[in-house]
Each structure stands twice: as C-alpha cells, then as structure tokens.
Amino acid sequence: MITKTNLIEAHILKKTEKEIKFLIMKRASNEKYPNIWQMVTGKIKDEEKAYQTVIREIKEETNLNIDEIYTVPNINSFYDDTDDSITIIPVFVAVVSQEQKVRLSIEHSEYKWVSVNKAKKMFAWPGQRQSVDIIEEYFSLQSENLKFIRVGI
C-alpha cells in the first residue's frame, strides 16, 4: 500500500459581522462523483506548494479572487482500491469579499452560498463536515489562533 498527498480541499467563505457563508458546488453529471455537493478540490502540480494549488484551483473553478487563506487544522483522507493507496488531503479555507460573483467551470453545474448547518448537511463525506465545524469555530469566535494558521500569500 502506498500513501499519496497529491490533492487539496479548499472551503470558500464569505463573512459578515453576523455570520459566515460557505460556497458549495454541485459536481457536473459527467464528472467523477457526479451530482455531489462539494468545496473546491484539485490536484497539486509537481512545481506547486499546496496553498498555490488552492489559489489556482479556486480561480479555475469559481473565478474568485482570494483575500485570505488559512490552513484548517484537519486532514482529510480516503482509501482508493484501484491502486491500493491512501490519499492524505490538506484542508484550507479561503476568504473572499462579499461583492465577488462566482463563475463556475465545466466541472460544476450549480452553486449556493449556504450556512454552516446547511453545508454540513449537503457535504457527502464526514471529513468535510468535520472541517466545516473547525472552520466555524475559528471564524465565528474570531479566534486568536487564526494568526497561527494564516498562509502568507
């Protein structure tokens, strides 16, 4: 069995004084895992750092510009039986400004800005829901620990 770290997971949020909203996107019907709701995901290129993949993938999949990026102190993972491997996925959260408009790539068919609870109900995998809980804890409480997980871009 091999272990790989070649993917990222990036949650996108908008924040106001009262709440945070997560961007969720529905996979196109012709994609792998068709019609599931998810955050931005993508493959890390050989020359990229994981956070650089986050910036590139968010731009490609949503056309949004990022104001801030944070690592989420959570790692997602899955087993792939096709090559008997375990993939370990670093998780990030990107903050975008309120006025930006989403323009989806062909990988997704629709999107919604949703509350924390709605995001947790719509995400398919437990690790994704756990990341939402952690993100909510850090951002809704304006945790002092945000300074430790912020990525300098």
**All structural domains of the chain:** 2-151 (3.90.79.10)
CB 96 within 8 A of CB 60: no
Measured CA distances, 8 to 4, 51, 88, 118, 142 (Å): 12, 8, 9, 22, 24
Q: What is the pLDDT of residue 44?
A: 96
Predicted TM-score of the model (pTM): 0.90
Q: Could you give the CA distance from residue 62 to residue 12 in angstroms, rounded to a whole number?
A: 10
Give the per-residue pLDDT at 152.
78
CA distance 87 to 15: 31
Burial of 109 (0-12, 13-18, 19+ CB in 10 A): middle
pLDDT tens-place values along the chain, 153 residues long: 899 899 999 999 998 778 899 999 998 888 777 788 999 999 999 999 999 999 999 999 999 999 999 999 999 998 989 899 999 999 999 999 988 999 999 989 999 999 999 999 999 889 999 999 999 888 776 666 666 677 777
Q: 70-75 long-range contacts, Cβ below 8 Å, gap at least 24?
A: 70/94, 70/95, 70/138, 70/146, 70/149, 70/150, 70/151, 71/149, 71/151, 72/11, 72/131, 72/134, 72/135, 72/149, 73/134, 73/149, 74/127, 74/130, 74/131, 74/134
Structure tokens belonging to residue 58:
């968010």
